[in-house]
Amino acid sequence: MSWNLKNLFRRYSDEIKRGFIRRGHGVDEAADLTQDVFLRLIKAEVKADLVNPGAYLHQIARNLSIDSRRSAQYAHIVDSPSEVVEAIADPSPGQDANLLYRQRMRTIEKALLDLPVTTRRAFELYQLEGMTMSQTAEAIGLSVSRTWTLVQRAYKALREALDDADALMPSSGAEK
């Protein structure tokens, strides 16, 4: 096929436009991007003896689709001075967040109290007092591997308690 732009447009434009639509672009955007494909072809210094102009056009289309998605991703980002952001942003959590935090803390406290004494002590020394696993094991008189097992059981019990509590809370309609 020759590199006659008119012939290439007639042959491939609908196919390329459908490709953009399949990639999730709107009809109007697909039409604009299709025109951009042929503009890039005009600007490119392509040898007229290229074997497969259709493949070349589709590669341009794929690249344009990716570029379009990337630029759309950053289109709504505004670079504001930090003073403006700080004046707008409220660093304190809202009432809902505070309530949720307090409920979760009560759940954790209850779950900790429900643990066997040695498991709770291992967790407290390791997680809350910041001891290493070796120090924790020595303090409770167990091996490091046994202490690690107890700490993991505590983590698991806390996760399950939080999951159970979250399942019982009424949904506010927002996704987690």
Residues of the chain with pLDDT under 50: 1, 172-176
Fold of 95-168: Arc Repressor Mutant, subunit A (1.10.10)
CA distance 61 to 35: 10
CA distance 23 to 25: 6
For residue 85, what pLDDT is reported? 65
For residue 168, what pLDDT is reported? 76
Least Cα distance to 148 among 168, 173, 131 occurs for 131
Determine if the pTM surpasses 0.95. Answer: no
Q: How do the domains of the chain map onto residue ranges?
A: 5-74, 95-168
For residue 42, what pLDDT is reported? 83
Helix (H, G, I), strand (E, B) or coil at 89: coil
User: How does pLDDT run across 138-148, given as a tens digit for each residue?
Assistant: 999 999 999 99
For residue 79, what pLDDT is reported? 65
For residue 76, what pLDDT is reported? 63
